[in-house]
Copies of this chain bind each other. A is one copy, B any other.
C-alpha cells in the first residue's frame, strides 16, 4: 500500500512538471529532458509511468476530466450546468486543469491528438441531454448530439476569450452568461425557471463535493 501511494505521488509530481513545461513552452517545444529536470525524478521513474512526450501530454489532458463525479441531480439540465460551472471554477484555481485545457487548445501541438477532451466532454453532455430528453426537460426539436457539441465548443471559446482578455478573472460571469444564452433554446420553460445558473454555483458544487468526500471513507489516500 505504501509503495502504491508513492507511485501515485511520483506520477502526480511528473504530471505537474509536464503541465508546467507544456504551459510555458507549448507542446511542440517542450522536451522530456526539461520535464525530468523540473520533476526532479529519475529517468527510470518517468519512463515507468509515461513512455513518450505524447503520453505525458495525454496524462495532462486527462486531468481536466472531472475527478470527482458531480452529485446526481433530479434535473439533468442542472447537472449539465453544474458540470460547466464547476469546470469553470476549477479552471480558475487548478493549474493542472488549466494546463490540460491550454494543451487542448494548442494548435501547434503536432502529432498530439487533442480531440480527446472535446469528445469526452461531448459524450458526457450528450448522455445528460438524452436523460433530460427522456424526462421531458428538453424542447421537442433539440438534438442531444448537436447540442452537446455546442455546449463543449462554446465553453472552449468562452474560456479562451476570458483567458485572453482577463486571465480568467471574469470566467465565472462569462460562463453564467453562456448558459443563460444557450438554455432558453433547449429547456422547457418550467425547467428553465428552476435552474441555478448563478456565478456562485461552481463554488457551491465544489464545496458540496469536497464536503461529501471528507465525510465518507476514502478508498485511496
Contact = CB atoms under 8 A, between A and B. Distances in A.
A133 interface: no
Contacts of A178: 150, 153-154
A152 B163 contact: no
Interface of A: 25-26, 28-29, 102, 105-108, 114-115, 118-119, 146-147, 149-150, 152-158, 160-165, 174, 177-178, 180-186
A177 B28 CA distance: 33
A174 B183 CA distance: 17
Contact of A154 (B118, B147, B157): B157
Nearest to A156: B157
B108 A25 contact: yes
A118 B159 CA distance: 13
Nearest to A27: B108
13 contacts: A26-B26, A102-B107, A119-B165, A153-B157, A153-B158, A153-B160, A154-B158, A154-B178, A160-B160, A180-B185, A181-B182, A184-B184, A184-B185
A138 B164 CA distance: 28
Contacts of A115: 164-165
A146 B177 CA distance: 7
A107 B161 contact: no
Contacts of A155: 157
